[in-house]
Protein backbone atom coordinates (compact mmCIF):
# COMPACT_ATOMS: atom_id res chain seq x y z
CA UNK A 1 0.00 0.00 0.00
CA UNK A 2 1.51 3.37 -0.98
CA UNK A 3 2.52 5.76 1.76
CA UNK A 4 0.04 8.58 2.31
CA UNK A 5 1.46 12.10 2.19
CA UNK A 6 -0.68 14.94 3.51
CA UNK A 7 -0.24 18.33 1.81
CA UNK A 8 -1.81 21.28 3.61
CA UNK A 9 -1.51 24.36 1.39
CA UNK A 10 -4.10 27.07 0.73
CA UNK A 11 -2.72 28.16 -2.66
CA UNK A 12 -4.47 25.93 -5.24
CA UNK A 13 -1.67 26.07 -7.83
CA UNK A 14 1.05 25.20 -5.34
CA UNK A 15 -1.12 22.50 -3.81
CA UNK A 16 -1.67 20.93 -7.24
CA UNK A 17 2.03 21.14 -8.15
CA UNK A 18 3.14 19.54 -4.89
CA UNK A 19 0.53 16.81 -5.26
CA UNK A 20 1.54 16.00 -8.84
CA UNK A 21 5.24 15.84 -7.96
CA UNK A 22 4.68 13.55 -4.99
CA UNK A 23 2.18 11.33 -6.78
CA UNK A 24 4.68 10.85 -9.61
CA UNK A 25 7.03 9.24 -7.08
CA UNK A 26 4.48 6.55 -6.30
CA UNK A 27 2.96 8.01 -3.14
CA UNK A 28 -0.67 8.59 -2.36
CA UNK A 29 -1.53 12.23 -1.64
CA UNK A 30 -4.26 13.80 0.46
CA UNK A 31 -4.31 17.55 -0.26
CA UNK A 32 -6.10 20.03 1.99
CA UNK A 33 -6.72 23.75 1.62
CA UNK A 34 -7.51 24.65 5.24
CA UNK A 35 -6.84 23.58 8.80
CA UNK A 36 -10.35 22.23 9.25
CA UNK A 37 -10.21 20.23 6.01
CA UNK A 38 -6.95 18.72 7.20
CA UNK A 39 -8.32 17.84 10.63
CA UNK A 40 -11.31 16.11 9.05
CA UNK A 41 -8.96 14.20 6.77
CA UNK A 42 -6.71 13.15 9.65
CA UNK A 43 -9.73 11.82 11.51
CA UNK A 44 -10.50 9.61 8.51
CA UNK A 45 -6.91 8.46 7.97
CA UNK A 46 -3.62 9.56 9.43
CA UNK A 47 -0.83 10.28 6.93
CA UNK A 48 2.61 8.70 6.93
CA UNK A 49 4.16 12.17 6.52
CA UNK A 50 2.74 15.69 6.47
CA UNK A 51 3.86 18.80 4.58
CA UNK A 52 2.38 21.89 6.21
CA UNK A 53 2.19 25.54 5.28
CA UNK A 54 1.93 27.75 8.35
CA UNK A 55 -0.45 30.46 7.12
CA UNK A 56 -3.73 29.01 5.88
CA UNK A 57 -6.26 31.62 4.82
CA UNK A 58 -6.86 34.00 7.71
CA UNK A 59 -5.24 31.65 10.22
CA UNK A 60 -1.66 32.84 10.59
CA UNK A 61 -0.52 29.92 12.79
CA UNK A 62 -2.71 27.14 11.42
CA UNK A 63 0.26 24.97 10.43
CA UNK A 64 1.69 25.13 13.94
CA UNK A 65 -1.67 24.05 15.36
CA UNK A 66 -1.89 21.17 12.89
CA UNK A 67 1.62 20.06 13.81
CA UNK A 68 0.68 19.93 17.50
CA UNK A 69 -2.41 17.90 16.69
CA UNK A 70 -0.55 15.44 14.46
CA UNK A 71 2.30 14.84 16.91
CA UNK A 72 -0.16 14.36 19.75
CA UNK A 73 -1.72 11.55 17.74
CA UNK A 74 1.60 10.14 16.50
CA UNK A 75 4.76 11.55 18.15
CA UNK A 76 7.01 9.85 15.55
CA UNK A 77 5.26 11.27 12.48
CA UNK A 78 7.63 13.11 10.11
CA UNK A 79 6.41 16.69 9.63
CA UNK A 80 7.86 19.18 7.13
CA UNK A 81 7.03 22.86 7.31
CA UNK A 82 7.03 24.42 3.83
CA UNK A 83 6.36 28.11 4.12
CA UNK A 84 7.19 31.68 3.17
CA UNK A 85 7.69 32.49 6.85
CA UNK A 86 11.46 32.40 7.12
CA UNK A 87 12.00 34.51 10.23
CA UNK A 88 14.14 32.85 12.86
CA UNK A 89 11.37 32.94 15.45
CA UNK A 90 9.14 30.90 13.14
CA UNK A 91 11.85 28.31 12.49
CA UNK A 92 12.50 28.01 16.19
CA UNK A 93 8.78 27.59 16.86
CA UNK A 94 8.60 24.81 14.29
CA UNK A 95 11.59 23.02 15.73
CA UNK A 96 10.26 23.25 19.26
CA UNK A 97 7.02 21.67 18.12
CA UNK A 98 8.97 18.66 16.87
CA UNK A 99 8.99 19.14 13.09
CA UNK A 100 11.59 17.06 11.26
CA UNK A 101 12.31 19.71 8.65
CA UNK A 102 11.64 23.37 7.89
CA UNK A 103 11.89 24.47 4.25
CA UNK A 104 11.29 27.91 2.79
CA UNK A 105 9.41 28.68 -0.40
CA UNK A 106 10.06 28.60 -3.26
CA UNK A 107 11.29 25.01 -3.40
CA UNK A 108 11.96 22.81 -6.40
CA UNK A 109 9.51 19.96 -6.76
CA UNK A 110 12.29 17.41 -7.20
CA UNK A 111 13.93 18.51 -3.95
CA UNK A 112 10.63 18.35 -2.05
CA UNK A 113 9.96 14.84 -3.36
CA UNK A 114 13.48 13.74 -2.37
CA UNK A 115 13.17 15.17 1.13
CA UNK A 116 9.90 13.29 1.58
CA UNK A 117 11.45 10.03 0.33
CA UNK A 118 14.47 10.49 2.58
CA UNK A 119 12.43 11.08 5.74
CA UNK A 120 10.13 8.16 4.97
CA UNK A 121 13.13 5.85 4.52
CA UNK A 122 14.52 6.94 7.86
CA UNK A 123 11.19 6.44 9.59
CA UNK A 124 10.72 3.00 8.06
CA UNK A 125 14.17 1.85 9.13
CA UNK A 126 13.50 3.14 12.64
CA UNK A 127 10.24 1.22 12.83
CA UNK A 128 11.95 -2.05 11.84
CA UNK A 129 15.15 -1.84 13.83
CA UNK A 130 15.46 -4.80 16.19
CA UNK A 131 19.20 -5.22 16.61
CA UNK A 132 22.28 -3.06 16.56
CA UNK A 133 23.33 -2.44 12.94
CA UNK A 134 26.86 -2.66 11.55
CA UNK A 135 27.10 1.12 11.48
CA UNK A 136 26.18 1.62 15.14
CA UNK A 137 28.71 3.58 17.17
CA UNK A 138 29.22 3.41 20.93
CA UNK A 139 30.40 6.52 22.79
CA UNK A 140 30.30 5.81 26.50
CA UNK A 141 26.64 5.35 27.43
CA UNK A 142 25.56 6.67 24.03
CA UNK A 143 24.74 4.47 21.03
CA UNK A 144 24.19 5.94 17.57
CA UNK A 145 22.81 3.89 14.67
CA UNK A 146 23.77 5.64 11.44
CA UNK A 147 21.39 3.58 9.28
CA UNK A 148 18.23 4.31 11.25
CA UNK A 149 19.36 7.66 12.67
CA UNK A 150 18.54 6.17 16.06
CA UNK A 151 20.03 7.08 19.41
CA UNK A 152 19.94 5.23 22.70
CA UNK A 153 21.20 6.44 26.06
CA UNK A 154 22.00 3.81 28.68
CA UNK A 155 19.89 1.36 26.72
CA UNK A 156 16.85 3.61 26.31
CA UNK A 157 15.88 4.75 22.83
CA UNK A 158 15.67 8.49 22.19
CA UNK A 159 13.87 9.67 19.06
CA UNK A 160 15.66 12.59 17.47
CA UNK A 161 14.72 14.25 14.22
CA UNK A 162 17.07 13.70 11.27
CA UNK A 163 18.54 17.17 11.79
CA UNK A 164 19.04 16.62 15.52
CA UNK A 165 20.74 13.28 14.84
CA UNK A 166 23.18 14.80 12.35
CA UNK A 167 24.09 17.53 14.81
CA UNK A 168 24.61 15.05 17.65
CA UNK A 169 26.74 12.84 15.39
CA UNK A 170 28.98 15.84 14.64
CA UNK A 171 29.22 16.59 18.34
CA UNK A 172 30.29 13.10 19.43
CA UNK A 173 32.71 12.53 16.55
CA UNK A 174 35.48 13.90 18.78
CA UNK A 175 34.29 13.77 22.40
CA UNK A 176 35.76 16.52 24.55
CA UNK A 177 36.55 18.77 21.58
CA UNK A 178 34.51 21.89 20.86
CA UNK A 179 32.48 21.88 17.65
CA UNK A 180 31.84 25.25 16.05
CA UNK A 181 28.49 26.77 15.24
CA UNK A 182 29.46 26.72 11.56
CA UNK A 183 30.10 22.98 11.61
CA UNK A 184 26.78 22.38 13.32
CA UNK A 185 25.03 24.66 10.81
CA UNK A 186 26.44 22.57 7.97
CA UNK A 187 25.12 19.44 9.67
CA UNK A 188 21.53 20.73 9.56
CA UNK A 189 21.51 20.72 5.73
CA UNK A 190 19.18 23.72 5.89
CA UNK A 191 19.51 27.27 4.60
CA UNK A 192 19.43 30.48 6.64
CA UNK A 193 20.54 28.83 9.89
CA UNK A 194 21.73 31.08 12.72
CA UNK A 195 23.40 30.51 16.08
CA UNK A 196 20.02 30.83 17.78
CA UNK A 197 18.62 28.07 15.57
CA UNK A 198 21.50 25.82 16.62
CA UNK A 199 20.88 26.71 20.26
CA UNK A 200 17.23 25.71 19.87
CA UNK A 201 18.20 22.36 18.34
CA UNK A 202 20.59 21.74 21.22
CA UNK A 203 17.96 22.60 23.83
CA UNK A 204 15.58 20.15 22.17
CA UNK A 205 18.24 17.42 22.14
CA UNK A 206 19.07 18.01 25.81
CA UNK A 207 15.39 17.86 26.80
CA UNK A 208 14.95 14.52 25.06
CA UNK A 209 17.94 13.07 26.91
CA UNK A 210 16.79 14.57 30.21
CA UNK A 211 13.43 12.83 29.86
CA UNK A 212 15.16 9.47 30.20
CA UNK A 213 18.01 10.69 32.43
CA UNK A 214 17.32 13.80 34.56
CA UNK A 215 21.02 14.00 35.40
CA UNK A 216 22.15 14.14 31.77
CA UNK A 217 24.83 16.82 31.32
CA UNK A 218 27.05 15.69 28.44
CA UNK A 219 26.28 18.56 26.05
CA UNK A 220 28.33 21.57 27.09
CA UNK A 221 28.05 25.07 25.65
CA UNK A 222 31.22 26.79 24.49
CA UNK A 223 30.20 30.43 24.75
CA UNK A 224 30.48 32.25 21.44
CA UNK A 225 31.93 29.21 19.64
CA UNK A 226 29.61 26.20 19.74
CA UNK A 227 29.25 23.01 21.79
CA UNK A 228 31.16 19.95 22.89
CA UNK A 229 30.29 16.46 24.10
CA UNK A 230 31.74 15.67 27.51
CA UNK A 231 31.20 12.13 28.78
Convert the pLDDT of each residue in 12-61 to its tens digit: 999 999 999 999 999 999 999 999 999 999 999 999 999 999 999 999 99
The pLDDT mean for the chain works out to 89
pLDDT at 27: 97
* Cα(154)–Cα(224) distance, integer angstroms: 31
pLDDT at 155: 87
pLDDT at 202: 93
pLDDT at 88 over 60: yes
pLDDT at 133 over 70: no
Contact 3, 120 (CB under 8 A): yes
pLDDT at 191: 64
CATH of domain 133-229: 1.10.10.10
| Strand-strand pairing, 219-222 and 4-8 | unpaired
pLDDT at 10: 96
Mean pLDDT of 77-104: 86
Query: For residue 213, what pLDDT band results from cuts at 50, 70 and 90?
Result: very high
Q: What are the residue ranges of CATH 3.40.50.2300 in the chain?
A: 4-127
Q: Which CATH superfamily is domain 4-127 in?
A: Response regulator (3.40.50.2300)
Share of the chain above pLDDT 70, in %: 94
Q: Which residue has the higher pLDDT, 173 or 27?
A: 27
Convert the pLDDT of each residue in 143-168 to its tens digit: 988 777 788 999 898 888 878 888 99
Q: Which residue has the higher pLDDT, 51 or 223?
A: 51
Amino acid sequence: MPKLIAIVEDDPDQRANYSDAITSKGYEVAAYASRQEALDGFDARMPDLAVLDIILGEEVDAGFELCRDLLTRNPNLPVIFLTERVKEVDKISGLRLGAWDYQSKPITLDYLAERISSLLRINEVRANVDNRSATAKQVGDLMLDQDALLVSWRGTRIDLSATEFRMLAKLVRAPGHAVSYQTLMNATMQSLVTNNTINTHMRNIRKKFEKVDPGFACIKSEYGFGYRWSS
